[in-house]
Amino acid sequence: MKCRELAEFLNDYVSGELPAESRAHFEFHLSKCKNCHEYLVQYEMTIKAGKIACDEMSDEMGPMPEELVKAVLLARIKT
Amino acid sequence: VRVAAVFGLYLVLAAVLILHQRGRVVPDGFIDELTYGRVAQNLAAGDGFTYQGLSPGYRSLLPYAIAPAWALFSGSTAYHAALVVNAALMNLVVFPAYAIARRVAPFGWFLDDGHHEERFKSWDEPVDKLMERAGNREIVRKEIDALPEGYRTVLVLRDIEGLDTEETAKVLGLSVNATKIRLHRARQALRTLLAPHFRSAVS
């Protein structure tokens, strides 16, 4: 597995959806490539930073727009 | 004024020539020279980042720009002459957008051997520590706002509002797979935007 391929699988790896065999290749590459390991760390930090920064904003902004709430509820019902 | 006049004459000549040479003036190889231009065009069109496809506008402009080179020379000479025109076009027309694309390009760039071009430098502190400061939280919100709308929406729904992938896909009217890809691109783009703020220097 090359860095380019690893970058494409990051999303599935972070969400735990990567199949076992691919996960093994992924983690082997990570163990050998400090640069990809750092990229993964920053990818996860980015997700967390967005969550923390915007949680504060949503507290200040109050409720979501009604149309978006309806769309989200509709999606949940269909799921 | 002289430069504009010369460029105008060049375009007129190109327009005349292309009427006679339509269909054979643009070797596909030239398209590979335009990766960043393609990125810039896609970002400008609000389509986000993709390697696939040139915008129709650029595709139609390019033949006119390189037609004279292809008409006046032949073989490899024409190819190299057209490359010069192509480079000039990049500098004159596309470079500003190219510079933005370089900044926003979410994947990072890869060398021919498949490894990252950039050496990633660690962020200065753990994310919890960074986010304790209001200024840093403001930076994150500002950079999320700077994302193309499609990226921003999927990132907010999935990572901030906490919808799962299927719910997000239904809200956006996308397939689950397309939603996952778009979310991945959005996170990569945001990481690229945040990195200069949270590391001491780029190596």
Section A40-66 average pLDDT: 77
Of the candidates A3, A42, A51, the beta carbon closest to that of B195 is on: A42
Residue B53, min C-alpha distance to chain A (Å) = 19
**A72, B115: Cβ pair inside 8 Å?**
no
CB atoms under 10 Å from CB of B27, counted, come to 12
pLDDT of A45: 92
Query: CB neighbours of B106 closer than 8 A, spacing ≥ 6?
Result: B49, B185, B186, B188, B189, B190, B191, B192
In tens digits, chain B (203 residues) has pLDDT values of 777 887 777 777 666 655 554 444 333 333 333 444 454 444 445 544 443 444 444 444 555 555 565 556 555 565 566 666 666 665 565 555 545 544 444 445 555 555 666 677 788 788 888 888 888 899 999 888 888 778 888 999 999 888 888 899 998 888 888 888 888 888 888 888 888 888 754 43
pLDDT of B157: 92
pTM of the model: 0.56
pLDDT of A50: 92
Question: Which pair of tokens denotes residue B47?
Answer: 């389509």
Residue B42, min C-alpha distance to chain A (Å) = 20
pLDDT of B182: 86
CB atoms under 10 Å from CB of A3, counted, come to 19
CB B51 within 8 A of CB B35: yes
**A74, B160: Cβ pair inside 8 Å?**
no
pLDDT tens profile A15-51? 888 888 888 888 998 898 888 888 889 899 999 999 9
**A52, B160: Cβ pair inside 8 Å?**
no
Q: Which residues of B touch A4 (CB under 8 A)?
A: 110, 114-115
Nearest C-alpha neighbor of B188 from the set B123, B107, B116, B119: B107
pLDDT of B80: 61
CB B40 within 8 A of CB B98: yes
pLDDT of A1: 73
pLDDT of A39: 86
Question: Which pair of tokens denotes residue B113?
Answer: 């051997």
Of the candidates A15, A53, A72, the beta carbon closest to that of B163 is on: A72
CB A14 within 8 A of CB A43: yes
Model ipTM value = 0.73
pLDDT of A61: 54
**B187, A76: Cβ pair inside 8 Å?**
no
Of the candidates B113, B116, B141, the beta carbon closest to that of A54 is on: B141
**Chain A: residue nearest B152 by CA?**
A50
Beta strands in A1-79 (DSSP E): none
**A4, B114: Cβ pair inside 8 Å?**
yes
Residues B147-159: b if buried by 16+ CB within 10 A, e if exposed:
bbebbbbbbbbbb
